[in-house]
């Protein structure tokens, strides 16, 4: 391909726009999916002419495996593969366009990251790996170049080009090992270190996973079989090797260099196998995680569950009690920009980009995606884009259009004089603007944000009158007392966390629109807060909701979010707006499953860190609990007969029955009450009261019932009584 091929349509569907980046074996193009009218990233496999026919076949097969491996995993921290096809005799992979830059670029640009930001990114990568491992996929190339940092705060693991998975056809020949020196776990690098040779970056190098007699390879084989993913050919797939690579990536984030920097690939591999890294100097509370993941012996290496718990603790302890409570400090002249220099203060979430930079903020990237090339000896290409505007599509729901992923991030504007505005001689004639005009421009810069805020408030006055029955300003308390609302007003739109995969409640369609009861409730709240038509939906997971709220990545969460005492220690709620009950989903052909007791001794799937998971273990201790990252993943396991049941709220289960009516059914024996609430920043009583006022109004005027009838009411659930909403601030 060349720039002359811009405009060419591939597979009768994907029109190429421009090249986004090139690596050693691939090039990524920005393209338009003409069937759906959306922008995508298309990866083209580049085969060097020096490769013989057999090597070309091997690389083509690996490209197909990349698509197969990534397509198995549906997770917000894993790049989504839309399509794979062959043209010009080689495979092409169509992926989501991630508006981002790579972690490798971020580390190069900043030198190193603060430990809290490194923990946030590491947590996203770890959750991607746990989702991949749950599907039997071993990534085998975790490194900064393959981690994308989205402008919306999303962390995405990409480039499954050398991944392998259970029962995958063997394409790694004897004597080969794929990966990047310095990020290979010792048990994978050991055979090369003992057998000699010289690997180039991301080219065949040495050995199969953990094959060397003795040392780390033997330790890997000594691990219990239930700790591994299974077999790929003759190779044991041990997730510990991916975790070691994550440890090396965390080390590089906080130190600004890989843990094993040497002058040649051979020396790097030798250091990985035979030497310990220098103790990190800037890891702070992250040091136990970093060094625990970098243990040579896989049997002694920190596991994913412990690592996730420690990373969450580091992230949460680095956050203020409420995310919006501190406004940005005006940068000190000569302090090194907006953030990072002495006296610069912390630029916290939501005031512009809609995502958190916990301590240090990198320069705004114009690079979008994961071009890669960040390793010391290699260059990789991943799904990327360099147009921060995105598609700019509009999502029109029951309560008006919402700005979606195509939003332009709004850079914060600092009010007041810039250090370089006035000339040293006071003549007012510097930079081509006379002093008077320059002063008027500074005044406009100060006044414009205030004018925008006043305009937003003025636009909301008719709504306020409808809400209160008078001309009183119902938003006065919000403006004065709610840091979250202050950030929403300055940003100009509302960010709402929702689930993308719950039929009936909230489901994201192929066109990016969200439909369902939760989605409609979210729009009602936005309308009454003065943000009708100015909503940005963000996908959230069960185990990440508290973190998303506390870190400021979302303003509120409307996502089948059960109010309980444990969560009230971390967030506040407005609710309930619905009361569900926990039940079991089973296959229709499983006639022996009539009551919950019939599932004793059977495998039942739940979502990690959900109230459903805790209650199943308490009420049905004989059930064998299987954990996944999303309910849709549990349903996939049920349909494949890998588990006998799925347990969560009846609303969610009924939605999956509607999706697969010939295959699935609900037992119809609810054994709990699940009050759904709107999650928001802990202690933000003003916002909680405002949300409840909105919800109660929509119950009284019939909007709540109409939304229920159009969504959950079609799923054969018992008709509910609309609950009365109250603020739950935990204090």
Which residues are part of the catalytic machinery? 141
- 220 φ/ψ angles, rounded to the nearest 5 degrees: -60, -40
Give the residue among 412, 400, 437 at the shortest CA–CA distance from 422.
437
Give the residue among 130, 155, 125, 127 at the shortest CA–CA distance from 142.
125
Read off the tokens for 320.
């203020």
Task: Find tokens 């040293």 and name the residue.
Answer: 424
What are the beta bridge partners of residue 539? Answer: 498
Answer for the pair 571, 682: CB distance below 8 angstroms, yes or no: yes
| DSSP, res 391 | -
Q: What is the dihedral of CA 204, 209, 213, 218, to 10 degrees?
A: 160
- 654 φ/ψ angles, rounded to the nearest 5 degrees: -65, -35
Give the residue among 477, 609, 498 at the shortest CA–CA distance from 555.
498
Give the residue among 561, 546, 577, 586 at the shortest CA–CA distance from 502.
561
Read off the tokens for 175.
């004597």
Q: Can you tell me whether residue 684 is helix, strand or coil? A: coil
Q: Please enumerate in sequence order all residues whose Cβ is within 8 A of that of 472, keeping only pairs 6 or more positions apart, or say none.
A: 464
Q: Quick count: other Cβ atoms within 10 Å of Cβ 61?
A: 13
- 31 φ/ψ angles, rounded to the nearest 5 degrees: -140, 165
Task: Find tokens 């109250």 and name the residue.
Answer: 726
Read off the tokens for 525.
């709240």
Q: What is the dihedral of CA 696, 700, 703, 704, to 10 degrees?
A: 60
User: How far is the C-alpha of 664 from the C-alpha of 164, rounded, in Å?
Assistant: 31
User: How far is the C-alpha of 635 from the C-alpha of 587, rounded, in Å?
Assistant: 10
Give whole-number Cα distances, 619 to 583, 596, 613, 623, 634, in Å: 12, 10, 10, 9, 20
Burial class (CB in 10 A: 0-12, 13-18, 19+), 638: buried
Beta strands in 476-545 (DSSP E): 494-498, 501-502, 506-508, 514-515, 535-539
User: How far is the C-alpha of 704 from the C-alpha of 701, rounded, in Å?
Assistant: 8
Give the residue among 403, 409, 402, 392 at the shortest CA–CA distance from 351.
409
What are the beta bridge partners of residue 496? Answer: 537, 556
- Maximum Cα–Cα distance for the chain, whole Å? 90
Q: What share of the chain is helix, strand, coil (3-state, %, to 5)?
A: 35, 20, 45
HSE of 574, CA atoms in CB hemisphere, 13 A: 23
Q: Which long-range contacts (CB under 8 A, 24 or more apart) does 330-337 make?
A: 330/414, 330/415, 330/416, 331/414, 333/419, 334/419, 337/363
């Amino acid at each position: 391909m060349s720039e002359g091929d811009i405009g060419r349509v591939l597979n009768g569907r994907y029109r190429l726009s421009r090249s986004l980046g090139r690596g050693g074996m691939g090039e990524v193009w920005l393209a338009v999916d003409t069937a759906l009218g959306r922008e995508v990233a298309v990866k083209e496999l580049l085969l060097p002419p020096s490769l013989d026919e057999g090597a070309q076949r091997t690389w083509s097969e690996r490209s197909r495996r990349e698509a197969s491996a990534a397509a198995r995993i549906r997770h917000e921290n894993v790049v989504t593969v839309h399509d794979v096809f062959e043209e010009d005799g080689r495979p092409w992979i169509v992926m989501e366009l991630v508006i981002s830059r790579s972690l490798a670029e971020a580390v190069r640009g900043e030198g190193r990251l603060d430990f809290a930001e490194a923990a946030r990114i590491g947590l996203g990568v770890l959750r991607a790996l746990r989702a991949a491992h749950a599907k039997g996929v071993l990534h085998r190339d975790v490194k900064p170049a393959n981690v994308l940092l989205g402008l919306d705060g999303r962390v995405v693991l990409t480039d499954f080009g050398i991944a392998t998975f259970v029962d995958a056809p063997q394409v790694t020949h004897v004597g080969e090992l794929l990966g990047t020196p310095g990020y290979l776990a010792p048990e994978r690098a050991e055979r090369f270190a003992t057998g000699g040779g010289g690997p180039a970056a991301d080219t065949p190098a040495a050995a199969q996973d953990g094959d060397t007699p003795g040392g780390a390879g033997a330790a890997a084989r000594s691990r219990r079989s239930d700790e591994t993913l299974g077999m790929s050919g003759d190779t044991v797939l041990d997730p510990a090797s991916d975790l070691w690579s994550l440890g090396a990536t965390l080390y590089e984030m906080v130190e600004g260099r890989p843990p094993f920097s040497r002058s040649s690939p051979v020396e790097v591999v030798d250091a990985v196998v035979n030497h310990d890294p220098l103790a990190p100097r800037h890891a702070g509370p992250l040091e136990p995680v970093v060094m625990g993941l970098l243990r040579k012996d896989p049997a002694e290496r920190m596991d994913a569950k412990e690592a996730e718990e420690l990373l969450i603790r580091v992230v949460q302890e680095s956050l203020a009690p409420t995310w919006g409570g501190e406004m940005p400090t005006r940068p000190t002249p000569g302090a090194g920009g907006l953030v990072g220099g002495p006296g610069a203060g912390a630029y916290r979430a939501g005031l512009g980009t809609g995502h958190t930079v916990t301590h240090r903020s990198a320069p705004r990237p114009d690079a979008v995606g994961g071009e890669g090339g960040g390793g010391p000896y290699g260059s990789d290409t991943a799904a990327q884009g360099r147009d921060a505007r995105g598609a700019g599509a509009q999502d029109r729901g029951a309560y008006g259009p919402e700005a979606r992923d195509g939003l332009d991030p709004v850079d914060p504007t600092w009010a007041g004089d810039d250090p370089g505005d006035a000339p040293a001689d006071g003549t007012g004639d510097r930079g081509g603007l006379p002093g008077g005009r320059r002063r008027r421009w500074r005044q406009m810069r100060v006044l414009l944000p205030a004018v925008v805020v006043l305009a937003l408030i003025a636009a909301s006055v008719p709504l306020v009158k409808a809400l209160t029955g008078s001309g009183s300003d119902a938003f006065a308390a919000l403006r004065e007392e709610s840091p979250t609302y202050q950030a929403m007003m300055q940003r100009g739109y509302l960010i709402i966390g929702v689930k993308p995969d719950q039929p009936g409640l909230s489901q994201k369609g192929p066109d990016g629109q969200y439909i369902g009861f939760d989605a409609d409730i979210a729009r009602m709240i936005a309308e009454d807060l003065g943000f009708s038509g100015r909503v940005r939906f963000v996908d959230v997971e069960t185990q990440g909701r508290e973190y998303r709220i506390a870190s400021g990545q979302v303003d509120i969460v409307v996502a089948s979010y059960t109010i309980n005492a444990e969560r009230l220690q971390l967030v506040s709620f407005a609710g309930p707006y619905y009361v569900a009950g926990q039940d079991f989903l089973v296959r229709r052909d499983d006639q022996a499953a009539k009551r919950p007791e019939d599932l004793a001794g059977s495998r039942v799937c739940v979502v990690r860190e959900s109230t459903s998971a805790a209650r199943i273990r308490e009420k049905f201790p004989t059930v064998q609990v299987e954990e996944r990252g999303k309910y849709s993943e549990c349903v996939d396991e049920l349909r494949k007969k890998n588990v006998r049941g799925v347990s969560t709220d009846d609303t969610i289960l009924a939605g999956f029955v509607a999706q697969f009516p010939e295959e699935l059914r609900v037992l119809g024996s609810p054994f709990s009450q699940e009050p759904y609430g709107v999650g928001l920043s802990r202690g933000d009583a003003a916002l909680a009261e405002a949300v409840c006022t909105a919800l109660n109004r929509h119950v009284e005027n019939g909007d709540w019932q109409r939304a229920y009838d159009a969504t959950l009411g079609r799923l054969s659930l018992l008709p509910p009584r609309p609950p009365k909403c109250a603020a739950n601030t935990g204090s």
